[in-house]
């Protein structure tokens, strides 16, 4: 059985703010968007809140028109948030959440068609029996991608495709696709797991029970932990640490009862980092990359140029799974390496960085179960 994890960075549509020239530019827009929606959710708007709302609307360029900005749109579905006189400054007329119904949405754009086909080529060539997918926009999109795009590049569509909506409203959820002889037996979501009155996971720790072709139960936890892109480093690290610790708790409960448990996905941090300590410093929970037959092509990282500081995608295996592992590796054919794409081989259809399947390589493990 081949188990793999792949961050596809969306299939058909992606928020425009994710596609700016630099991550710093996009991060600023996403922070303004999140902060504005946070304030708009308050029961009462103070004078300071209203000033901040106006300031953020100006930064997002929706102060003059609801859809005037390039990255977001203000939706006023019922009642009014803002009054825009022909002369003079805009005015926040709602005094709180109960005075109007609406929010600020991100604007989306189509993913490059060549990039989508290259993503399909990666999945075709991986030939995974069980594939964890990160940053997919919805189950219908993933199903359409499997049935149409993978098939169009000569691959076999997946018989089982499942995605549960997570806590991120930007359309970057986690999912799983499995072959016909690896049916999904049960599904559990951890989107509502909470601590201290707030939800733990940025997306979800989706829990799938798979029956392998040999009849063995395999539990797969698909994750996408908190990124480093929002808020302070201390705040991001603390949340990622809490998420990693909770994933470990879920794993511990499962491995007490079942032999074959895998934790996979984009953890957004390196193995030696403090936030991932609960997962990476447990002697019994094995990273596929330490297997004697793991091939990283001389580059241990899974993101960007593949440096050690970019090792952020994982397959972590229970002792019984690791003992049955035969091989593993990193598949980079869909990544544009370096400024000119010359660091490592990629598909000939990729002629520029925007046509890359993803900034992430896929990671895989061959396991005899």
Question: Based on C-alpha coordinates, what's the Rg of the chain?
Answer: 22
- Residue 272 CB-density burial (10 A; 0-12 exposed, 13-18 middle, 19+ buried): exposed
pLDDT 10s digits, 182-205: 999 999 999 999 999 899 999 999
- The secondary structure of residue 148, as a DSSP letter, is I
Is 278 in the same domain as 170? Answer: yes
Q: What is the mean pLDDT of residues 313-341?
A: 97
Q: What confidence score (pLDDT) does residue 230 get? A: 67
Q: Domains in the chain: how many in total?
A: 2
Question: In angstroms, rounded to a whole number, what is the distance separating the alpha carbons of residues 228 and 273?
Answer: 12
- Residue 66 CB-density burial (10 A; 0-12 exposed, 13-18 middle, 19+ buried): middle
**Confidence bin at 293 (pLDDT 50/70/90):** very high
Is 90 in the same domain as 133? Answer: no
- Residue 324 CB-density burial (10 A; 0-12 exposed, 13-18 middle, 19+ buried): middle
Q: What confidence score (pLDDT) does residue 23 get? A: 67
Q: b/e per residue, 109-147, with b = 16+ CB within 10 A? A: eebeebbbbbbbbbbbbbebbbbbbbbbbbeebbbebbe
Domain C-terminal end among 58, 80, 108: 108
**Confidence bin at 86 (pLDDT 50/70/90):** confident
pLDDT 10s digits, 8-66: 987 777 778 887 767 677 888 989 999 999 999 999 999 999 999 999 999 999 999 99
pLDDT 10s digits, 119-178: 999 999 999 999 999 999 999 999 999 999 999 999 999 999 999 999 987 778 999 999
Q: Angle 47-59/23-40 helices, nearest 10 degrees? A: 150
Q: What confidence score (pLDDT) does residue 111 get? A: 74
Q: What confidence score (pLDDT) does residue 171 get? A: 77
Is 116 in the same domain as 160? Answer: yes
Share of the chain above pLDDT 70, in %: 98
Is 148 in the same domain as 272? Answer: yes
Residue with token string 């754009």: 109
With CA atoms as reference, report the closest residue to 266 among 208, 316, 225: 225
**Confidence bin at 297 (pLDDT 50/70/90):** very high
Question: In angstroms, rounded to a whole number, what is the distance separating the alpha carbons of residues 351 and 182?
Answer: 36
Q: What is the mean pLDDT of residues 211-231?
A: 92
Question: In angstroms, rounded to a whole number, what is the distance separating the alpha carbons of residues 1 and 367?
Answer: 5
**Confidence bin at 268 (pLDDT 50/70/90):** very high
Q: What confidence score (pLDDT) does residue 124 get? A: 98
Question: In angstroms, rounded to a whole number, what is the distance separating the alpha carbons of residues 104 and 228?
Answer: 23
Domain that residue 55 falls in: 19-108
Do 202 and 267 meet the contact criterion of CB atoms below 8 Å apart? no
Residue 231, pLDDT above cutoff 90: no
Is 72 in the same domain as 133? Answer: no
Q: What confidence score (pLDDT) does residue 11 get? A: 77
Which pTM was predicted?
0.82
Is 96 in the same domain as 117? Answer: no
**C-beta neighbour count of 44 within 10 angstroms:** 10
Q: What confidence score (pLDDT) does residue 102 get? A: 94
Domain C-terminal end among 108, 126, 146: 108
Is 121 in the same domain as 88? Answer: no
Is 167 in the same domain as 276? Answer: yes
Q: Rounded to the nearest 5°, which phi and psi values hold at 300? A: -75, -20
Q: Which residues pair with 175 in a beta bridge?
A: 133, 163
Q: What is the mean pLDDT of residues 308-333?
A: 98
Is 59 in the same domain as 127? Answer: no
Q: Rounded to the nearest 5°, which phi and psi values hold at 173? A: -95, 170
- Residue 218 CB-density burial (10 A; 0-12 exposed, 13-18 middle, 19+ buried): buried
**Confidence bin at 112 (pLDDT 50/70/90):** confident
Choose the weakest-confidence range: 10-14, 92-96, 336-340, 341-345.
Answer: 10-14
Is 213 in the same domain as 344? Answer: yes
Helix, strand, coil % in the chain, rounded to nearest 5: 30, 25, 45
Q: What confidence score (pLDDT) does residue 13 get? A: 73
Question: In angstroms, rounded to a whole number, what is the distance separating the alpha carbons of residues 26 and 273?
Answer: 25
Share of the chain above pLDDT 90, in %: 85
Token output for 39? 């304030």
């Amino acid at each position: 059985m081949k188990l793999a994890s792949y961050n596809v960075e969306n299939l058909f549509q992606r928020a425009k703010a994710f596609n700016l020239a630099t991550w710093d530019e996009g991060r600023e827009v996403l922070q303004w968007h999140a902060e504005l929606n946070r304030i708009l959710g308050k029961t009462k708007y103070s004078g300071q809140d209203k000033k901040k709302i106006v300031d953020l609307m100006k930064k997002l360029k929706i102060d003059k028109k609801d859809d005037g900005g390039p990255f977001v749109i203000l939706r006023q579905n019922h009642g009014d948030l803002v009054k825009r006189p022909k002369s003079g400054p805009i005015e926040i007329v709602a005094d709180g959440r109960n005075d109007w119904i609406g929010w600020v949405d991100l604007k989306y754009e189509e993913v490059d068609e060549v990039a989508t086909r290259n993503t399909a080529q990666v999945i075709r060539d991986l030939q995974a029996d069980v594939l964890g997918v990160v940053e997919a926009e919805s189950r219908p999109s993933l199903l359409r991608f499997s049935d149409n795009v993978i098939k169009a590049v000569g691959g076999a569509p997946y018989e089982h495709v499942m995605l549960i909506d997570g806590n991120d409203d930007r359309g970057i959820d986690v999912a799983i696709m499995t072959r016909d002889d690896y049916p999904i037996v049960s599904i559990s979501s951890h989107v509502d797991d909470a601590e201290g009155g707030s939800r733990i996971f940025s997306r979800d720790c989706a829990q799938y029970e798979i029956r392998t072709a040999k009849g063995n139960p395999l539990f797969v936890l698909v994750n996408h932990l908190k990124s480093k892109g929002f808020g302070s480093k201390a705040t991001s690290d603390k949340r990622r640490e809490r998420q990693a610790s909770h994933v470990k708790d879920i794993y511990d409960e499962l491995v007490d009862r079942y032999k074959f448990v895998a934790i996979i996905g984009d953890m957004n941090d390196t193995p030696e980092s403090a936030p991932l300590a609960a997962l990476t410093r447990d002697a019994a929970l094995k990273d596929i990359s330490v297997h004697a037959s793991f091939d990283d092509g001389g580059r241990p990282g899974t993101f960007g140029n593949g440096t050690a500081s970019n090792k952020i995608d994982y397959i972590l295996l229970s002792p019984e799974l690791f003992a049955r592992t035969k091989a593993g590796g990193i598949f980079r054919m869909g990544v544009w390496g370096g400024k000119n794409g010359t660091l490592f081989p990629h598909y000939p259809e990729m002629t520029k960085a925007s046509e890359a399947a993803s900034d992430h390589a896929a990671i895989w493990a061959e396991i005899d179960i």
